[in-house]
Chains A and B, each alone.
Chain A
């Protein structure tokens, strides 16, 4: 497939942010019609590198050529003109506009009275056929699932004439099924001559989709090889720089029923339709499902954000409280899906975020005043105990990486000794090290330590089937607001899970199981 002029040629790219060297003299080549995987842990410099490529940042040193022509630095317009398209990890879509309008944004000159919507509509239909990117152009983007939104982003790039597509952690938000569909699409694109840079920290995916792999660590290009020659352990070693010890899973003992949902319904969209589930102390029940099928409603219900419309929810035989603070106080530990925007207040310090759920606790407040000393000591202890990498407890938490924010949230939750832990996508987008640490803590919470302490139950909401298979005792599948029976892990296969996740009726959900 290799041709004389590469699609992209990066030479000696260096980028510093203050003292941090995000990219250190990186040279890379992308050939036409190949998938190059950019592998690395969070913070390795992958996103910075592609931001330079796409013209969001100016490199401090180095040059880029696209299809043989030099690419001016820090100019997204010329990057677009050179045929470079980018699909960001966080989508840049207007939720209140239709798919078609989102694709048209930026294409239309402001002074034209008639829009050229019709040809773009045709292009969308063509792309749907050529690459398997079917989507209703008139659907409101806000009503789409995450996978569909990503499709819109890809279509945006294609309509703008992208010949090189950069995908920043595209599967971080997808289910295995959606990922598989994405891979089929990507393969089709490559076959038709497009080139793809695929950024990920998931080894399996990278091995599955790419032709060549470049591994970044701490801003440096540490290895480059053909995918055919790569092995998983070798890649992991390059990426992490050390070997990971597999986590030990202690045996768990199922206790008394802890959480009982009986025909629970909520209002809103997407809503819960008559969801029933029993979770016992000392067990992990996982909720699998495609994003946007009601998992958020279930999490919001148990976190006290959304009221119950009918049915009942009991925690330890007590009815569920209907406010976030009451839920915390009845012993629900809550790990939200959006850790940096909902789980913490980014502008506040690490210590303030460590005690933010405890503002009625006499350890940290007295007569309307916050007790700084004990609060900061508590935060310092959490930071040490949960290995949160931070410059101290007195810095805004915004500056911490996602993994470290999540570890602090986990510490905050576990330090209250919760009865029930509701973990919504707890490891989404985190690097291998942080994922292992969080899994270990969740599993450990289900085992009583010493005398008198009781085991917690964990409700794990996840779209990562590998995670579910690794952690759960029982698995239930959520689809269109309905929940299947929670069956022991052994009774599920990846195939039956996949079927249940796409099921449309109750019978299908049960039959698949």
Chain B
């Protein structure tokens, strides 16, 4: 078995990748049906329940999109970093740092909180969250650029450090006195909470922020000199250095943007959904962001549908579990298999497989 390069045309390439992604998802569903059969459930009914649960009605959509909101932002964080070959595995920690910073600025702190005009305080809260996420990644980027320390290790291990820091804060300085010993932070000022998009659901305006972030990131990479340099650094750092591009500055800006997006995800979760920080507020959104970025082939615009797909599978899996009695882990399997399938499928748009 071998791979041969195909002759590629730029235009047909985008269409080929889109087609490859769709057929990869179809392939995934076929593979997963075998698991459903193995679990002893009717395949058709299981899939109906899965898709109804994820996308069946307004409520299902609202749940899926609520779940997709932080995923879009962490997906963008991974996309930005990976495009410039800065391997940020620390979006999870950056998300928690952002959430903590958001509550630090906008929390009640046992009284009224900071006495500032709401719009100003909201902006400060968002900026603080982004700065916290950015600072975490900057630390790793500085070590990488000037100390040649591997950023994968640093960002990954920082996740645990941040989580322990959060744990300490929730039991110490930022403990909610009204929570009766439950480990959660002080609540956010109610006027800072994001408004709901649809009544009676949890869907909030954070979705709009996340979707605009995707458009902004796309525009940054397409139109700015920073985006130009980041793509060049990511594609070939030696050439970028020779050609006089500001390699170090680009790495720093990339870290600011990527870490900032992950921090923003934390602030949006607090302001839109939880109102306070808990240790389980993110079921691995930071790590799922990596999957989403890869599913989207590092295209910032494609991050939105990729995040909605993953969120829909996670939400729908609960319904499927209730309806036909298969474990909810099926959702994780679907996401994992579809990622592998998409990676293989996009590779096959560029190479031809030969069996001899």
Of the listed residues A74, A304, A343, A359, the one surrounded by the most CB atoms of chain B closer than 10 A to its CB is: A359
Binds A, one of B38-46, B141-149, B229-237: B229-237
Query: Are A74 and B2 CB-contacts (below 8 A) given A20-B7, A324-B244, A368-B226?
Result: yes
By the criterion CB–CB under 8 Å, are A345 and B232 in contact? Answer: yes
Other A-B pairs beyond A74-B356, A303-B242, A326-B244, 12, CB < 8 Å = A17-B5, A56-B2, A327-B244, A345-B231, A345-B239, A348-B231, A352-B228, A356-B243, A356-B245, A359-B225, A369-B225, A399-B8
Cβ-based interface call for B10 (8 A)? yes
Which residues in B have their C-beta under 8 angstroms from that of A265? none
Please, how many angstroms separate the alpha-carbon atoms of A61 and B93 in the complex? 57
From residue B18, how far is it (CB to closest CB) to chain A in Å? 19
Query: Does A19 reach chain B (CB closer than 8 Å)?
Result: yes
Known: A74-B354, A352-B228, A359-B225. A305 touches B242 (CB 8 A): yes
Q: Across the interface, do A324 and B243 meet the contact criterion of CB distance under 8 Å?
A: yes
On whether the beta carbons of B10 and A325 are closer than 8 Å, the reply is no
Q: How far is the CA of A323 from the CA of B48 in the complex (A)?
A: 61
Chain A neighbourhood of B242, CB < 8 A = 303, 305, 324, 334, 336, 342-343
Is B228's CB under 8 angstroms from A359's CB?
yes
Q: Which residues of A contact B6 (CB under 8 A)?
A: 17-18
Question: For residue A343, which residues in chain B have a CB less than 8 angstroms away from its CB?
Answer: 239, 242
6 A-B pairs (CB sep. < 8 Å): A58-B354, A324-B242, A345-B243, A348-B231, A352-B232, A356-B228
Instruction: Note all chain B residues with C-beta closer than 8 A to A346.
Output: 235-236
A365 touches B225 (CB 8 A): yes
Q: A356-B232, A394-B10, A396-B10 are in contact. Are A323 and B244 (CB under 8 A)?
A: yes
- For A17, the chain B residues whose CB sits under 8 A away are 4-7
A437: interface (CB < 8 Å): no
Cα A356 to Cα B236 in complex, Å, equals 13
Which residues on B are within 8 Å of A, measured CB to CB? 2, 4-10, 223-226, 228-229, 231-232, 235-236, 238-246, 354, 356
A345 and B7 contact, Cβ closer than 8 Å, known pairs A370-B224, A370-B228: no
Closest partner residue, chain A, to B241 (CB atom): A324
A440 at the interface (CB under 8 A from B): no
Q: Give Cα A328–Cα B244 distance, bound, in whole angstroms.
A: 8
A473 contacts chain B at the CB level, 8 A cutoff: no
Q: A359 to chain B: which residues have CB within 8 Å?
A: 225, 228-229, 245
Does A240 sit within 8 A of B, measured CB to CB? no
Closest to B1 in A: A74
Q: Is A369 within 8 A of B224, CB to CB?
A: yes
Shortest distance from the beta carbon of A169 to any chain B beta carbon, whole Å: 20
Q: How far is the CA of A368 from the CA of B244 in the complex (A)?
A: 16
Residues of chain B contacted by A485 (CB below 8 angstroms): none
A73 contacts partner chain B, Cβ-Cβ < 8 Å = yes
Query: A residues within 8 A CB of B226?
Result: 368
Instruction: State in angstroms the CA–CA spacing of A431 and B282 once bound together.
Output: 59
Contacts A74-B354, A396-B10 hold; do A342 and B238 have CB atoms under 8 A apart? yes
Set A19, A304, A324, A345: member contacting B235, Cβ < 8 A? A345
The residue on A at minimum CB distance from B2 is: A74
The 7 closest A-B pairs by CB, nearest first: A325-B244, A18-B7, A324-B244, A347-B235, A345-B232, A345-B236, A342-B242
Chain A 48-69 interface residues, beta-carbon cutoff 8 Å to B:
56-58
With A324-B242, A368-B224 given, is the CB distance from A348 to B7 under 8 Å? Answer: no
Report the minimum CB–CB distance from B221 to chain A (whole Å).
Answer: 11
Among A18, A328, A346, A372, max chain B CB count under 10 A is at A18
Among A18, A75, A357, contact of B243 (Cβ-Cβ < 8 Å): A357
Q: How far is the CB of A298 from chain B (nearest CB, A)?
A: 15
Contact across chains for B236 and A347 when beta carbons are under 8 A apart: yes
- Pick from B7, B10, B225, B239: contact of A19, CB under 8 Å: B7
Complex formed: what's the CA distance from A19 to B238 in Å?
34
> Is A341 engaged at the interface, CB distance under 8 Å to the other chain?
yes
Inter-chain contact A342/B244, CB cutoff 8 Å:
no
Given contacts A58-B354, A369-B223, contact A305 B236 (CB under 8 A): no
